[in-house]
Structure 1
Amino acid sequence: MDFISLSVSVHWLLVIGIGIRVIMKRPEAGVALAWMLLVAVVPYGGALVYLLIGERRIDPRREREIKALQQDYRRLFDTAREQGITDVDWLSHSPAAKQLDTLGGNLVGSHAVGGSAFQLKSDTAEVLATLASEIDAAKTSVLMEFYIWAEGGAADTVLEALIMAAGRGVSCRVLVDAIGARPWWKGDQPARLRAAGVEVRPALPVGLFRSFVGRTDLRLHRKIVVIDGEIAWTGSMNLVDPRFFKADAGVGEWVDAMVRVEGPIVGPLAAIAIGDWRLETNEPIADLVKSAGLRLNPARGTTDMQAIPSGPGQSVDGLLQMMLALIAAAREELVVTTPYLVPDASLLRALRGAAGRGVAVSIIVPERVDSILTRYASRSYFEDLLDAGVAIHLYRDGLLHTKSIVADSKMAMFGTANIDMRSIWLNYEDVLFVYDPAFSTELRALQATYIEASDPLLPGDWADRATTERFTENAARLISPLL
């Protein structure tokens, strides 16, 4: 047998072998077919890519630690329930809200807590200035985790505030994704923080050995700040100044929103961040809880919130199920914002179904995004949505990065998760489900400003696009399960 014949034979053996493995792993049909197609049409390379990132493999040690942390979370909520901190007056909400709480409790181990206060912020400069100010005022601890940190502009004021806080004895821990913030890790700011006494760690570092024990493209996409165990922040914003971040990407400034919270919800958010730190450092959980000031905070307001962490090893499909339940709960209006719209089949059907039963469904996405492949994949779903009566708005004033869903201005989802398969299946995310008309109304008003700065996508105009555009979109859609 000559070399070419041998190579072809080995290739098809790989195709058959990996095909059998894919079938036995039982992924979504679209995901399975996409991987099998890639392995078949890209000799050897497709098989290598599948072996590296084709399954939701995580380090066995990490998986054990996640399971242990989930038990800690459940004990935290059991204690909170005993003390009445999780008490929510469900009679003041729709039955769907209570069902969402039960769903999150059963699938993720996280229940709603009552009595929190919130401030919704959409001005990035104000967010960064307030963060720096609150870190300046910190007395005991600062706990931060972000997907991206980029130097420049007002982001540097937060860095200086951390350095000053560590200098006066405040316990400061910073966890930043190893890949999302790769340019930052190559700069001098991490060394400056360490020299000042700030503990800084990369989340989910990659390497040759790690690629054999787990996927290397699983990323920490969370954005959480906890100060003195009393104040917490979360939302879509990375630790960046949009005036300086990816200024040459051709998409304009990134547009984000964050929520500042006080009260009982701070505990669950802090628990998520502390758990992530423990996974990277193996520090005893009791020491982390003590130094971070984690406790069951008393009521500070009237808002009922539920923190839902998601990611490989934490929940099979908890976040997806929560999204589907929220969409199904809408009776009159559903408004969605997401920078990347690459839904799986169930989310696509849920959005189409909501529009089909008479709900006014609007989706706001940026006109331009920073990934060409994702842009085309997202556009491949527009026709399906428009045909069902979904209104699509193309935001023109930058890269709209806020991730939110508002149902009937009564319930909302707000956090770090995009409406895409990566957020649902691969990223470690944190999302708030909020059962409060005041929060939902305020978030809905913010969404209205996005719509005002958008152009409606008209079905007739969309149908007239070039055949080459259609082909490129549909080709990108074929591999959208892999994005």
Structure 2
Amino acid sequence: MEEFYRVLTLTGIGLYWVLVAGVTLRVVIKRRSVSVSMAWLMIIYILPVFGVIMYFLIGELNLGRKRGERADQMFEAYRGWFNQLHDCAAHVPDKMPTQIAHIDHLCTNRMDIPALGFNTLSLLTTPKGILDAIVDDIDNAQEHVRMEFYIWHPGGLADNVGRALMNAAQRGVIVEVLLDSAGSVSFFRSDWPKRLKLSGVNVVQALQVNPLRAFLRRLDLRLHRKIIAIDDTIAYTGSMNLVDPSCFKQSAGVGEWVDIMIRVKGPAVNVLAAIHAWDWEVETGIQSLPSHPECHIETLEELHPIQVVPSGPGMPHNLIQQVLGIAISRADKSVTITTPYFVPSEELLEVLRTVAQRGVKVKLIIPQKNDSIMVQWASRAYYAELLSAGVEIYEFHGGLLHTKSVVIDDTYCLVGTVNLDMRSLWLNFEVTLVVDDKAFTEEMVWLQRQYIDQSHRLDKAAWSNRSLTHRFLERAFFLFSPLL
């Protein structure tokens, strides 16, 4: 019997060694950031068995066989649809400002999405203003309401949107609502799905969480976009989920979430509507793409181009990070960034340091308290080298600053759903707008200054004297950056 147990033990050790060796080879041969590969290897070796299981669950970008095949089959059809926008009167490449032109070329070459001009934008910065505007536009919808959110949390003013959707469906408007299964778990446990469906609203769970299929599809792959398109003529996107902050995560101890949304009218709405259609078809297999792109052009004195940049499985890899890299690296005077979650890739971190070191004023505004303790400590692991490079870091104390924005030289900006973390840059379904509109950018500059007024600036000398405990926690949580 003793010999049996000895053989069993040696066999188990041998099998585990083969398993670890195999996973190690798989990590090494995958083409991705060296820092991410090294972090995964440390997790696998420091956390025996658990590390290997975690890698199988969330170590690779796996949309699932059915969705993956569907996305691959859809790509050329959508690329062809986007290509038609190049013939739209709103695409004026010879008049495109230089900074947008470079991004336009990238997005055109990788996905055939052009920058489109003659848009009008409104910056909405209060929850009531945002939700009231959405309800008003839904109440005036005549044909189609497309909506997708990461989180719909019932309660407060958010319920007004649900009632507006039911009223729209009852008067014959096609209403398609796509919600992330994990992010909107409280919604799907409420009576809202039943009420909406009885009223004729099409409600679909995106990326439904199923533990039984954990090894067949990455469970933490999430639909993080926030898009509303109404009659394909008005659209919303930005950082705010479909929540009333006064009723949302009140026990988290971080204060109310601080967000923005952008209301868009004009040709760029075409692209946002098509992105919703993409997500709808990936999930349901039903094509809801507008029959042909239309350019609703208002008479404007300035071009006001917008480049819509989507990302996610099935779409060109790394596109949003490339856009961010182009925009930040070409800054001449200033870069001001707001993000709730800051765990940047090595490439983006190097861009920020390099830009600051050549004399550009780089400001990073992040919340003082975060709803993710792991992210909060991992973020701080980057502070020392950023401060040494000359980056100004501000910690916002007026709530959980959830706005995702980048303003370049106070002349144009990037706004949308994208956090400066691994998850947004490489994993989730995201969308951002590159906006070259002087008046809109001035509003963003003003808003960012308001955020700075509610923040304290980190002092380089004081930060260098932080405790050993803090330094240990920073580095410990930094090791888990691939999971954040």
Q: TM-score, normalised by structure 1?
A: 0.95
How far is the alpha carbon of 1:126 from its aligned partner? 0.6
* Alpha-carbon offset, residue 4 of structure 1: 4.1
Structure 1 position 224 matched with structure 2 position 223: no
CA drift of 1:477 comes to: 0.8
| 2:32 aligned residue (27, 33, 36) | 27
The 1:29–1:344 alpha-carbon spacing in structure 2 relative to 1, beyond 3 Å, is same
| Partner residue, 1:297 | 296
**2:395 match: secondary structure:** strand
Counterpart check, 1:444 vs 2:449 = no
Pair 1:243–1:89, CA change in 2 (3 A): farther
Q: Which residue of 2 aligns with 1:319?
A: 320
C-alpha deviation, 1:336, in angstroms = 0.3
Counterparts of 2:298 and 2:107, CA distance in 1 = 21
Match of 2:372 in 1: 371
**Do structure 1's residue 249 and structure 2's residue 252 form an aligned pair?**
yes
User: How far apart, in 1, do the equivalents of 2:383 and 2:146 lie?
Assistant: 40
Counterpart contact for 1:112–1:306, Cα < 8 Å: yes
Q: After alignment, is 344-353 or 26-35 more displaced? A: 26-35
Provide the rounded CA distance (Å) in 2 between the counterparts of 1:299 and 1:347: 37
Letter in 2 for 1:393: Y
Is the Cα–Cα contact under 8 Å of residues 267 and 297 in structure 1 kept in the other structure? no
1:125 aligns with one of 128, 138, 158: 128
Deviations 1:259-306 (A, max 9, x none): 000010000000000111111111134xx525xx96333346441001
Matched, 1:48 2:53: yes
Structure 2 stretches of 5 or more lacking a match?
A: 1-5
1:279-290 pair list within 5 angstroms: 279-285=282-288, 288-289=289-290
How far is the alpha carbon of 1:323 from its aligned partner?
Answer: 0.5
1:209 deviation in Å? 5.2
Q: Which stretch shows the higher mean deviation, 11-20 or 335-344?
A: 11-20
**Residue pair 1:34, 1:482 contacting (<8 A) in 2 also:** no
Amino acid paired to 2:417: T
Deviations 1:180-232 (A, max 9, x none): 11121111111111111100001111224543432121100000001111100
Structure 1 contact 412–433 (Cα < 8 Å) conserved: yes
Deviations 1:349-399 (A, max 9, x none): 100111100000000000001000010001111111101000001100000
Identity %: 42
User: Which letter maps to 1:412?
Assistant: C
CA distance in 2, matches of 1:26, 1:231: 40
Q: 1:47 to 1:130 in 2, by over 3 A?
A: same
2:83/2:112 contact within 8 Å kept:
no
Cα distance in 2 for partners of 1:126, 1:149 equals: 17
Structure 1 CA distance for aligned equivalents of residues 92 and 313 of structure 2: 30
After superposition, residues 113-192 of structure 1 pair within 5 angstroms as 113-192=116-195
Displacement of 1:59: 2.2
The worse-fitting range, judged by mean Cα deviation, of 12-21 and 424-433 is 12-21
Matching residue's letter, 2:152: W
Q: Structure 2 CA distance, aligned partners of 1:214 and 1:401?
A: 28
Which letter does structure 2 place at the counterpart of 1:322? V
1:162 alignment partner AA: L
The one-character-per-residue Cα deviations of 1:405-433 (angstroms, maximum 9, x if unpaired) are 01101221100000111000111001101
Give the letter aligned to residue 55 of structure 2: Y
Contact 1:107/1:315, CA 8 A, preserved across alignment: yes
Aligned residue number for residue 3 of structure 2: none
Alpha-carbon distance, 1:2 to partner: 4.7
Q: 1:354 maps to which residue?
A: 355
Provide the C-alpha distance between the structure 1 equivalents of 2:171 and 2:386, rounded to a whole number of angstroms.
Answer: 54
Could you tell me whether the CA contact under 8 Å between 2:100 and 2:307 is conserved in 1?
Answer: no
In 2, the alpha carbon distance for the partners of 1:204 and 1:162 equals 22
Relative distance call for 1:437 and 1:430 in structure 2 (3 A) is same
Match of 2:391 in 1: 390
SS in 2 for 1:119: strand
* 1:3 Cα offset (Å): 4.4
- Pick aligned residue for 2:113 from 93, 110, 114: 110
CA contact (8 A) 2:85 2:113 kept: no
SS at the partner of 1:358?
Answer: coil
SS at match of 1:114: coil
Cα distance in 1 for partners of 2:68, 2:413 equals 30
Q: Confirm or deny: 8 A CA contact 1:117 1:300 kept in the other structure.
A: no
Q: Deviations over 1:144-197 (max 9, x none)?
A: 000000011100111111111111111111000001111211111111111111
Aligned to 1:340: 341
Partners of 1:347 and 1:295 lie apart in 2 by 36
Match of 1:471 in 2: 472
The structural deviation recorded for 1:85 is: 2.7
Q: Give deviations 1:237-271, integer Å, cap 9, x for gaps.
A: 00000001000000000000110000100000000
> Quick check: 1:399 aligned with 2:400?
yes
Q: Residues 195 and 294 from structure 1, CA distance in 2 versus in 1: closer, same or farther, beyond 3 angstroms?
A: farther
Letter in 1 for 2:221: L
Amino acid at match of 1:18: V
Aligned to 2:455: 454
Q: CA deviation at 1:313?
A: 2.2
Q: Check conservation: 2:157, 2:244, Cα contact below 8 A.
A: yes
Which range moved further: 181-190 or 235-244?
A: 181-190
**What is the root-mean-square deviation of aligned Cα atoms in Å?**
1.6
Q: Deviations over 1:90-120 (max 9, x none)?
A: 36x2x33211111122233321001111001
Letter in 2 for 1:82: D
Within 1, Cα distance between the matches of 2:274 and 2:194? 27
Does the aligned pair in 1 maintain the 2:84–2:293 contact within 8 Å? no
Contact 1:88 1:114 in 2 (8 A): no
**More displaced 10-residue stretch of structure 1: 464-473 or 25-34:** 25-34
Partner of 2:307: 306
Amino acid at match of 2:31: R
Moved more, 251-260 or 456-465: 456-465
1:15/1:36 contact within 8 Å kept = no
Letter in 1 for 2:462: D
Aligned partners of 2:75 and 2:314 also within 8 Å: no
**What is the distance in 2 between the residues matched to 1:188 and 1:42?**
41
Aligned residue type for 2:320: L
For residues 38 and 83 of structure 1, the distance between their equivalents in structure 2, rounded to whole angstroms, comes to 50
